[in-house]
Structure 1
Amino acid sequence: MEPRIGERIIGRDHPAGLLRAAVDRAVASHGGLVLVAGEPGIGKTTLVTAAADEARQRGALVLGAACWDSDSAPGYWPWVQVMRGLRRSADDWALARESSEPALRVLLGEDTGAGTGSGSGSGPADLADGDHEAFALYDAVTTALVSVSQRRPVIVVLDDLHWADPASMRLLRFATQHTWFERLLVIGTYRDAEVESAEHRLHPLLMPLTAKATTVTLTGLSRAEVGALISRTAGREPDAELLSEVHRRTGGNPFFVEQTARLWRAGGQVTTIAPGVRQAVQRRLAELPDAVVEVLTVAAVLGRDFHRQVLAACMPGPVAQVDRLLDRAVTARLVAARGEGRFTFAHDLVRETLYDALPDDDRRARHAAVVRAVDLSGALAERLIPADLARHAWLAGGALGRPAPPACSPPPAATRRGGWPRRRRWCTTAARWRSPTTRPSGSGRWSTSDGTCTTTPAGPRPTVSSPRPGRSRSPSTTRCCWRGSRTPCTGRRPSRTVRAPRRSCCGRRTGGSSASRTPLRRSPRSPPT
């Protein structure tokens, strides 16, 4: 049985089917252009390699090339590799040389003074300077490929087009436009997150090709597909909790999943960032402007999910500028919009890489900035749950410039809006963040003397006798430092204590407040005195 595209590729059945149809069409009648897009590590090269292997087994001539991310690369570098691959096939090279040898020799750097009509001795890197010389080269390369396609199908694979030089992209556009009805199929891969940015130098050259090409966009693997990839890489089945953690942190990126699975197989923790993954994320961040990286860093401090208003309040620039930088991060596929002003990181590994790169002092200062921003704006407290605000207050430490806020008190903004029902949640979550290794089942408070937290121990709460028969109450082991008293912290607004009035023999109240000294109405059931 013939091997099929995607037989060993997990989660790529539909993209493999599109490439298989393109190869079948090129072998039978005519080719075209297929562009495979996706983020780094998503599996573009793996998918295209499988398609090239099948085409080669079906008798097609496969010519591969890869672009190089360096200013030292010569002009038309991917097409130079294509022609070198064509020259390795003697019979096919004889056909190509017969139709367009002079220009091909110039492209390959073998003859710098003939073929293009200029006679100036210029190399292939200088051909883009003149329209006539460039057109002659485009026509020579296209004619050579068409001549070979008359003998057998030709598959040209151009990897990493986002690093190509502009002259190579113009040659690609010329070749695909003039060979549409020939048995010539061109397959290219590129990072859509980079090229789709208007600031990319190839944006005006590559984006028009997507309208005429069959575009295959690769996304992250599903949870079940991540489990299958972990099992194949590590050699054992992951449990449900570990699978969910890996899928959440990697976003289904196959490269990230494989690196994490290898780390797990070696005995490491899946919460640790693999060195290869960290380097890949850092290279991706290095391609962005510094202002965008700064916005992403503040967002990493806020957490995986954050709100646009909270992010803007923590940035020194105007809100409009923060919105533009955030849109750039969305275009780079590093964060995704969830609607209603909320955003989330595409991969938790990106957030962790940004957060781990911060020094300790800078990290505490950024957490303190979040707390101050919420204190100054009551509307921002609606965008953060008490647990997040307690986490920022705890991680800020002494950077707040004042004693840490009471753990059993709600934030001032929440109190001003009548947020007393949130108080119990604030006590519990703040106590949890003060003791990260344990999860106490009670309230907690900050100690302004030593910075420690007193929490209610877990387990059944003791009961004490109540003044009223048949009832008991459960005391709290901590004082309510929001109210500044020694009364148990019940999470309710303290009520004013009024001295109970005494009843005299004539039925009048005495001993209470003067406003309440009114005759006491007799109960209809009580006998007259």
Structure 2
Amino acid sequence: MDGRTDQQRADRPRPAGHSPGRPAPGRGPDERGPDERASNARGAGVRGSSAPVSSARGSSAGGPNARPANAPYPAPGGVPSERSGTRPGQPPLVGRHDVLQVLEESLDEAAAGMFRFVALAGEPGAGKTRLLGELTAGAVARKLAVSSGRAAEFEQEMPFGAVVDALDDHLEEHLPELGPATVKLLVPVFPALAAVVQGTMPTVTGNTPVARYQLYRAVRRLLEQLAAEDGLVLILDDVHWADEATIELLDYLVRHPPRARVVIAVAFRPAQASARLASLVEASLQGGCGHRVRVRPLTEDEVAQLLGPDVTAGRCRELFEASGGNPFYLEALARSDEPLAEGPQEGDLPPAVRAALHMELSGLSPDALRVAQGAAVAADEFAPALAAVAAEVSDPVALSALDELVARDIVRPGAGRFRFRHPLVRHAAYGSAAAGWRLAAHARIAAYLADIGAPAAV
């Protein structure tokens, strides 16, 4: 379920493999909700509660599903999918048959000489990266070369960042047969070429439409040369963070496909995708070269299969409800030594989940973070006015902050109210605030509700 975060993927050791560029994304437990399943995850939150509600219940002392204190939860042990490249100690890939079929078909079509563009869309933790790992395994089995890269939130000012990440290391060691004019166009994009081509210093290319068109043609020519011998599967992860130049290049390649055995596979979070990225994916479908796959949450049956026969039905249901079927949350909760606390008590998030969610929160502006913390004190589902009171900001500031939180998919809008993407996101936001500040926020909410004559639960 690889629902790993940007930070975790950046820090991961990249596996060696048949790759002309950087090794393909690592695989985690089944994260097959390609498109990281825009989770309609219903968590353990209760509307109207004034403190985060536990996302994992009933595993403390007592009860038929209880486990001994400090006893580690058994690793998931379901039945692997037919063609899962599961590694030792890695949870098996469960479900995802529709996604795997699309990936297999795309590889077969590319091996037969066609260009294919594959888009995996899913929320954080749905398993997109794990599925890209399955694509890599399938490509290697067909003796297709693989090159992978990823976009990063804090590198959006670097043009073509994800493409450079995928190809630059290979170009430093293996310069394809390109004409001098093509190389001259590519030198400003790929730093490795400047060192290889007699120490040529990169120069800034013009930003006119003609100059960009010439550059995109040069990149297409580069991909054709890289694919000439063994074909090429180019994998770009986290393209919701990609710079505009990367998206424009991909749009060009979809409209003017490389004349070679090439698959370009991208993964992104749909709630954070730009309009231009969404348009690009749609254009690939209309052009007949694209596949769009939504990575959805695991079903309750798939959760039970992943956890294995040693986990009781009650515990499976509990973990399913707490995780919302999100593979990353599911695995972290299942392995956690200490369950989350319920009600007003401050529980502890599993370390992997805490690190992932705190990474998301760290990218927020100060106002947005403060409003997220205030909303977390209020409820899973909250009115903007209540979040503003808790955060001690004006209504206009709160509304602007909520726009940012929606854009970052921390919260999602409803009919005049907002709801956290997942109860665990609320839990992380709540825990990120200082304890004294939280107490004061609870008091502000209580006073506000008393002033308007509203009940304590809203």
Instruction: Please indicate, yes or no, whether the TM-score normalized by the shorter chain is above 0.5.
Output: yes
Q: Deviations over 1:234-276 (max 9, x none)?
A: xx73334433443333332222222222224xxx335531122
Q: What CA distance in whole angstroms lies between the structure 2 residues aligned with 1:362 and 1:161?
A: 36
Partner of 1:40: 124
Partner of 1:442: none
1:366 aligns with 2:441: yes
Higher deviation after alignment, 65-74 or 161-170: 65-74
How far did 1:132 drift? 5.1
Q: What CA distance in whole angstroms lies between the structure 1 residues aligned with 2:229 and 2:236?
A: 22
1:292 aligns with 2:368: yes
Partner of 1:248: 321
1:80 aligns with 2:164: yes
Q: Which blocks of at least 5 consecutive residues in structure 1 are unaligned? A: 116-120, 196-202, 390-529
1:226 aligns with 2:303: yes
Runs of 4 or more, structure 1, over 6 Å off, are none
How far did 1:279 drift? 1.4
| The one of 277, 283, 287 aligned to 1:206 | 277
Q: What CA distance in whole angstroms lies between the structure 2 residues aligned with 1:314 and 1:83?
A: 48
Q: Deviations over 1:58-91 (max 9, x none)?
A: 232222223344459964343334445765997x
Partner of 1:301: 377
CA contact (8 A) 2:250 2:280 kept: no
**Amino acid of the residue matched to residue 446 of structure 2?**
V
Q: What CA distance in whole angstroms lies between the structure 2 residues aligned with 1:208 and 1:72?
A: 19
1:145 aligns with 2:223: yes
Q: What CA distance in whole angstroms lies between the structure 1 residues aligned with 2:382 and 2:110?
A: 48
1:123 aligns with 2:202: yes
How far did 1:179 drift? 0.7
Pair 245,297 (structure 1): closer, same or farther in 2 beyond 3 Å: farther
CA contact (8 A) 2:182 2:218 kept: yes
Q: What CA distance in whole angstroms lies between the structure 2 residues aligned with 1:97 and 1:41?
A: 43
Q: Which blocks of at least 5 consecutive residues in structure 2 are unaligned? A: 1-80, 87-91, 285-290, 342-347
Partner of 1:155: 233
Pair 113,163 (structure 1): closer, same or farther in 2 beyond 3 Å: same
1:136 aligns with 2:207: no
Q: What CA distance in whole angstroms lies between the structure 2 residues aligned with 1:324 and 1:70?
A: 22
CA contact (8 A) 1:67 1:78 kept: yes
Q: Supply the RMSD in Å over aligned alpha carbons.
A: 3.9
Task: Determine helix, strand or coil for the equivalent of 1:127.
Answer: coil
How far did 1:161 drift? 2.0
| The one of 339, 343, 356 aligned to 1:269 | 339
How far did 1:54 drift? 0.8
Partner of 1:215: 292
TM-score by length of 1: 0.58
Alignment of 1:47-58 (within 5 A): 47-58=131-142
**Amino acid of the residue matched to residue 360 of structure 1?**
A
CA contact (8 A) 2:271 2:408 kept: yes
Q: What CA distance in whole angstroms lies between the structure 2 residues aligned with 1:298 and 1:241?
A: 33
**Amino acid of the residue matched to residue 224 of structure 2?**
V
How far did 1:186 drift? 0.8
Task: Determine helix, strand or coil for the equivalent of 2:123.
Answer: coil
Q: What CA distance in whole angstroms lies between the structure 2 residues aligned with 1:328 and 1:133?
A: 34
How far did 1:113 drift? 11
Partner of 2:111: 27
Q: Give aligned-pair identity as a percent.
A: 25
Q: What CA distance in whole angstroms lies between the structure 1 residues aligned with 2:212 and 2:201?
A: 12
TM-score by length of 2: 0.65
CA contact (8 A) 1:229 1:257 kept: no
Alignment of 1:53-452 (within 5 A): 53-71=137-155, 75-84=159-168, 100-101=182-183, 103-104=185-186, 107-109=189-191, 112=194, 123=202, 126-127=204-205, 129=207, 133-147=211-225, 149=227, 152-179=230-257, 182-195=260-273, 203=274, 205-213=276-284, 214-231=291-308, 237-264=310-337, 268-269=338-339, 271=341, 272-307=348-383, 310-311=386-387, 322-323=398-399, 325-326=401-402, 328-337=404-413, 341=416, 343-378=418-453, 380-381=454-455, 388=457
**Amino acid of the residue matched to residue 263 of structure 1?**
S
Partner of 2:345: none
Q: What CA distance in whole angstroms lies between the structure 1 residues aligned with 2:418 and 2:156?
A: 39
Q: What CA distance in whole angstroms lies between the structure 1 residues aligned with 2:365 and 2:172?
A: 43
